[in-house]
Amino acid sequence: MHPIVKLAKQAIETYIKKGCAIELPVELMPEMKEKAGVFVCIKIQGELRGCIGTFMPSCENVAKEIIKNSICAATQDPRFLCVQPGELDALEYSVDVLSAPEEVKGLKELNPKKYGVIVSKGQRKGLLLPDLEGVDTVEEQLRIVKMKAGLSPDDEDVKVFRFEVKRYR
């Protein structure tokens, strides 16, 4: 198991079992020292169980971002109840470390397998990670992310940003 995934797993297991966050590891690998947005997704038997993240860094390094977002994915995703101790052995983890978002000028700059997307209009924002099962076209990716932002799928008056991820499993 990659150290980044191991950190997410330890953060969730400690929080669910003891009700407290883990300490930051003493030795951080180089990727954990950087500042970046991080998404932590939890699945059970391939089915989503929680996914929370930040597209811009909110902590001083990736390691702290992983700890915070892991706990949130397990306890604060509004689509799911909190992870229970009996589920811990069945959890599967993935951690995406995001590049800085860049605005795109046209749909030709998007690729749902390579880039995640962010749409924004006024106060509304939506984000969709790249390379998701069942999302094979730019049009489908934009339709989903607009709905996540609470916008009409037909709304063309939106800003679109792309980002890449390094996915750890």
* pLDDT tens per residue, range 85-95: 999 999 999 99
Task: Establish how many alpha carbons lie within 13 A of residue 20's alpha carbon, considering only the half-sphere containing its beta carbon.
Answer: 4
Phi-psi region of 64 (alpha: psi -120 to 50; beta: other; left: phi over 0): alpha
- In which band, very low, low, confident or very high, does the pLDDT at 61 lie, cut at 50, 70 and 90? very high
Domain boundaries, the chain: 3-98, 102-164
- In which band, very low, low, confident or very high, does the pLDDT at 5 lie, cut at 50, 70 and 90? very high
The DSSP annotation for 86-112 comes to GGGGGEEEEEEEEPPPEE-SSGGG--T
Residue 157: the pLDDT is 92
Taking Cα atoms as reference points, which of 110, 123, 113, 112 lies closest to residue 161?
Answer: 110
Domains 3-98 and 102-164 share a fold: no
CATH number of 3-98: 3.30.700.20
* pLDDT tens per residue, range 67-114: 999 999 999 999 999 999 999 999 999 999 999 999 999 999 999 999
Choosing among 3.30.360.10, 3.90.1300.10, 3.40.50.970, 3.30.1490.150, the CATH entry for 102-164 is 3.30.1490.150
Mean pLDDT, to the nearest integer, of 39-49? 97
Residue 85: the pLDDT is 98
